[in-house]
Structure 1
Amino acid sequence: MNVHFILFVRPAPELPIVERRNWLIHQHYIRKDYETCKVIIKEQLQETNGMCEYAIYVQALILRLEGKIQQSLELFQSCAILNPSSTDNLKQVARSLFLLGKHKAAIEFYHEAARLNEKDWEISHNLGMCYFFIKDFKKEHLNIALQINKHDKTFMMLGKVHLLAGETDKAIDVYKRALGKYQKAFEHLGNALTFDPNNYKAILAAGSMMQTHGDFDVAMNKYRVAACAVPESPPLWNNIGMCFFGKKKYVAAISCLKRAHYLSPFDWKVLYNLGLVHLTMQQYASAFHFLSAAINLNPRMGELYMLLAVALTNLEDVDNATRAYEQAVTLDQSNPLVNLNFAIFLYNHGNKKGALDQYQEMERKVNLLRDGSSNFEFDSELMDMAQKMGAALQVTESLVWTKPGKDSKSKPSSAPSTKTPGAPLGTNQALGQAMSSAASYNKNIHLNIHIHPSIIYTPLNPH
């Protein structure tokens, strides 16, 4: 007796039409093939009558990368309507509002996201940032963020809040805690490289720390090893470029930075560095081009507007240079060099009263920084410049600057050992200490720019 078995093969389940192309959208997005990604998104939204949450979400991310913040906000709001229980959707709405300068509205959305996820470092940190920008110096959210993740950005922001609240001792304690974490991080990186000497992430991080202390040759040796593993890494080429910049090899620096820019065209820190190097080489039109692009991507950083003002000054566009300086001093809350450069600019153009106002604001920031650190020290060249400015304004008797000793010499403008303070550079904080200077056309007082270049030590988060 023959027994026949009938084999039933169950067909593979089809993905719902709403999610059918999500994997393909994701693949093109992470490859940064945004044009193809947008075409697929359009097809997906047509098929789903605009109801595909993921397609809308990625389209909003791309619009934000293109600088279309308002349009990206509207799409993220659509995502939040489609899926109101998603923390990511609420965070992205809040982030877009923050970028548009609508900090109070951003706070509401971050609080709503926090109710859905209380253990999210990003939410707590950004809440602290939003309150900072509306001059409400709350510390609770930053302290919660540090309990979740000991991130250097949060330490820096909390220290700044304590300083502005007049709590100098607490600010010092915060900075000491941050320094301890930095040293431990370097030790852990050393241990990691002992077990896996070819781990490019650890190599890149260690190299950036060495670069911080001006050990450019040692850092370059590390980067050579990393280049074998990740030859197309934008952070790697950015850091190599800034090593060359620290060594005053400016043509090589521009070559490496342009490669980083080619690999990551929407990274404002690379554009910032390109503008900085071109300013150093007195190529002001090129500097203006790169700095304008950086401002389009990061419109809330005062130092960018200051550099743009320097380029415009040297291009003899006084009106726009004035506007750029006004924006710089409005945005920057801590760097006295912004006010010093503006004071020199105003003095050079006959506005002594405006120059005096900026000089006094610079002194206020200097005193605040000195109160916050016993090791606070300015570059001797900058002290000399401030003294000349004070003498020109006839306020030398009230100078807050310590006059250099007889043996003190003006440091070269790219010296890595300068200790001029600098604000954090966005998501990946600036680690470098190499400086640059650019001079105005006025022969009486020269305009000096000393700022931190941006050294990237982790890849950017596409969100």
Structure 2
Amino acid sequence: MAPTGPATAARSNGPRERVNWLIHVNYVQQNYDHCLALIEEQLKMHNGLCEYPIYIKALIKRQRGEIQDSLQLFQAATCLNPNNINNLKQVGRSLYLLGKHKAALDVYKEAMRLNEEDWEVWHNQGLCQMYLKQYEKAIDCFKQANAIQQHDVTYIQLGKVYTLQEDFRAAIEVYLEALDFSPDNPEMLTTVGLLYLRLGENYRAFDFLGNSLTHDPKNPKTILAAGSIIQDHSDMDVALVKYRVAAVATPNSAQLWNNIGMCFFGKQRYVAAIACLKRALYLDPFEWIISYNLGLVHLNTGQYASAFHFFSSSINLKPDFPSSYMYLAITLSRLDDFDNACSAYEKAIEMEDDHLFELNFAITLYNNDEVEKAAEHFAKFEQLYAKLDDEAKSSDPEVAEQRQALAALLPAR
């Protein structure tokens, strides 16, 4: 990226600026070592009082990860020319990269005194406010930046702030507005698709994800999202074809291997499912859903001790997911630990009213000769089951079978 601001000095004919054009050319061509050699010559020749060479040296330092050194150099350039807004913007950027967001804000406010109509200053202020969790101020800054000049990056950050506030509808509106003037942006299309996915609007999500894939057919993030929708509709083979493409680009994605594992689980290929899920767990040992899925597979294959281990790990990582407690309870009942199974069921029911929790608890109680309590929980199951729509009732035939069997065994209430 060619430097802005002090580059205008390269056109001056003063003795300190005669080599600026050569410094500029070497920087643009990324001949950084030769560029730095030219800069050092100039600094020695003019006792370090050369704004443009210092500015370029700072840019090179920052690109090489030497952020603190770049900050000091940009500050030196600012001392030489305090009225150059580009120097101030770069000081603010370096402070931002060092995590000094409040200090960066002060610098950007100083830059605004030089030019209130610079979209970049407003945009960068929004970034600082976002990381300080001052979301309303961040939204105002991003909106002001867009009012001056529209940029995809500003829309993306504005949508991100709304997403952090869990205002997904507002985030979608922002991205749709951005797509009006940048309709072929695959990142934006994917983000809208993911937001619709979070809202449970799978068909709309798939439209945007599919559109994104037409522009960037090998984007792993988009493929993963589209594959998950296909997988949710039980088309495991098509989902696996999608994941195979993503695996080439991101072979070390824990989320990808988790989804592949659950595809194999859906195809009842349990050994392959466990292998993929364990690879996912190796790549990200602190992702609760992987442990949860491993618990499900081991529970289905009758490996109850392993299932207990994985469900316990999942609960430790995410203690507010009630289904984990239900499956832990089922596992404990299979391990003949009735008391702890009851405690796990009660915890799940305390967190959420779910017909499956009540049905499974009733079955466990009946199997352990607690007929009266089983009847109580079965009655609660019936109340919750009656509230479901026809589609939800027919989605799992096993529930209807267990309901019929238990109703025949329990005394009428």
TM superposition score category, shorter chain reference:
0.5 to 0.7
- Contact 1:145-1:154 at 8 Å conserved across structures: no
For normalisation by structure 2, the TM-score amounts to: 0.57
- 1:381 maps to what in 2? 398
For the structure 1 residues 319 and 250, does the alpha-carbon distance in structure 2 shift closer, same or farther, using more than 3 Å as the test?
Answer: same
For the structure 1 residues 375 and 302, does the alpha-carbon distance in structure 2 shift closer, same or farther, using more than 3 Å as the test?
Answer: closer
- 2:214 maps to what in 1? 194
For normalisation by structure 1, the TM-score amounts to: 0.51
- 1:355 maps to what in 2? 374
Q: 1:300 aligns with which of 314, 320, 331?
A: 320
- Bigger radius of gyration, 1 or 2? 2
Q: How far 1:143 sits from its partner (Å)?
A: 6.8
- Contact 1:124-1:144 at 8 Å conserved across structures: no
Root mean square deviation of aligned Cα: 3.5
For the structure 1 residues 240 and 378, does the alpha-carbon distance in structure 2 shift closer, same or farther, using more than 3 Å as the test?
Answer: closer
1:411-440 deviations in whole A, cap 9, x for unaligned? Answer: xxxxxxxxxxxxxxxxxxxxxxxxxxxxxx
Q: How far 1:322 sits from its partner (Å)?
A: 1.1
Q: What are the within-5 Å matches in structure 2 for residues 151-190 of structure 1?
A: 151-152=195-196, 155=199, 178=201, 182-190=202-210
1:233-277 deviations in whole A, cap 9, x for unaligned? Answer: 111111111111111110110000000000011100111100000
Q: How far 1:296 sits from its partner (Å)?
A: 0.6
* 1:9 and 2:26 are equivalent in the alignment: no
1:177-196 deviations in whole A, cap 9, x for unaligned? Answer: x3xxx323323333333333
The total of aligned residue pairs comes to 270
CA distance in 2, matches of 1:228, 1:343: 47
Query: Where does structure 1 lack aligned partners over 5 or more consecutive residues?
Result: 22-51, 56-84, 91-111, 126-140, 157-177, 399-463
CA distance in 2, matches of 1:392, 1:114: 59
- 1:418 maps to what in 2? none
- 1:243 maps to what in 2? 263
For the structure 1 residues 153 and 197, does the alpha-carbon distance in structure 2 shift closer, same or farther, using more than 3 Å as the test?
Answer: closer
Q: How far 1:199 sits from its partner (Å)?
A: 2.1
Q: How far 1:377 sits from its partner (Å)?
A: 2.0
Q: How far 1:325 sits from its partner (Å)?
A: 0.8
CA distance in 2, matches of 1:227, 1:337: 35
Q: What are the within-5 Å matches in structure 2 for residues 322-341 of structure 1?
A: 322-333=342-353, 335-341=354-360
Q: 1:291 aligns with which of 296, 311, 314?
A: 311
1:63-94 deviations in whole A, cap 9, x for unaligned? Answer: xxxxxxxxxxxxxxxxxxxxxx955555xxxx
Q: How far 1:316 sits from its partner (Å)?
A: 1.4
Q: 1:225 aligns with which of 234, 238, 245?
A: 245
Query: SS state of the match for residue 333, structure 2?
Result: helix
Q: 1:343 aligns with which of 358, 362, 366?
A: 362
Q: Which amino acid aligns with 1:274?
A: L
Q: Which amino acid aligns with 1:363?
A: E
For the structure 1 residues 198 and 153, does the alpha-carbon distance in structure 2 shift closer, same or farther, using more than 3 Å as the test?
Answer: closer
CA distance in 2, matches of 1:187, 1:224: 21
Percent identity of equivalent pairs: 42
Q: 2:409 aligns with which of 363, 367, 392?
A: 392
Q: How far 1:319 sits from its partner (Å)?
A: 1.5
Query: Which is bigger in relative contact order (C-alpha 8 A, separation at least 6)?
Result: 1
CA distance in 2, matches of 1:363, 1:143: 35
- Contact 1:250-1:281 at 8 Å conserved across structures: yes
Query: SS state of the match for residue 369, structure 1?
Result: coil
CA distance in 2, matches of 1:196, 1:87: 29
For the structure 1 residues 147 and 365, does the alpha-carbon distance in structure 2 shift closer, same or farther, using more than 3 Å as the test?
Answer: farther
CA distance in 1, matches of 2:100, 2:284: 23
* 1:365 and 2:384 are equivalent in the alignment: yes
CA distance in 1, matches of 2:274, 2:220: 23
Q: Which amino acid aligns with 1:282?
A: G
Q: 1:121 aligns with which of 149, 162, 184?
A: 162
Query: SS state of the match for residue 388, structure 2?
Result: helix
Q: Which amino acid aligns with 1:238?
A: N
- Contact 2:129-2:137 at 8 Å conserved across structures: no
For the structure 1 residues 201 and 9, does the alpha-carbon distance in structure 2 shift closer, same or farther, using more than 3 Å as the test?
Answer: same
- 1:71 maps to what in 2? none
Query: Where does structure 2 lack aligned partners over 5 or more consecutive residues?
Result: 1-14, 17-43, 70-97, 102-127, 141-157, 176-191
For the structure 1 residues 349 and 147, does the alpha-carbon distance in structure 2 shift closer, same or farther, using more than 3 Å as the test?
Answer: farther
Q: How far 1:379 sits from its partner (Å)?
A: 2.2
Instruction: Answer with 375-384 or 322-331: which moved more.
Output: 375-384
Q: How far 1:345 sits from its partner (Å)?
A: 1.0
Structure with the largest fraction of helix:
2
Query: SS state of the match for residue 232, structure 1?
Result: coil
For the structure 1 residues 144 and 283, does the alpha-carbon distance in structure 2 shift closer, same or farther, using more than 3 Å as the test?
Answer: same
1:167-222 deviations in whole A, cap 9, x for unaligned? Answer: xxxxxxxxxxx3xxx32332333333333322222222222222111111111111
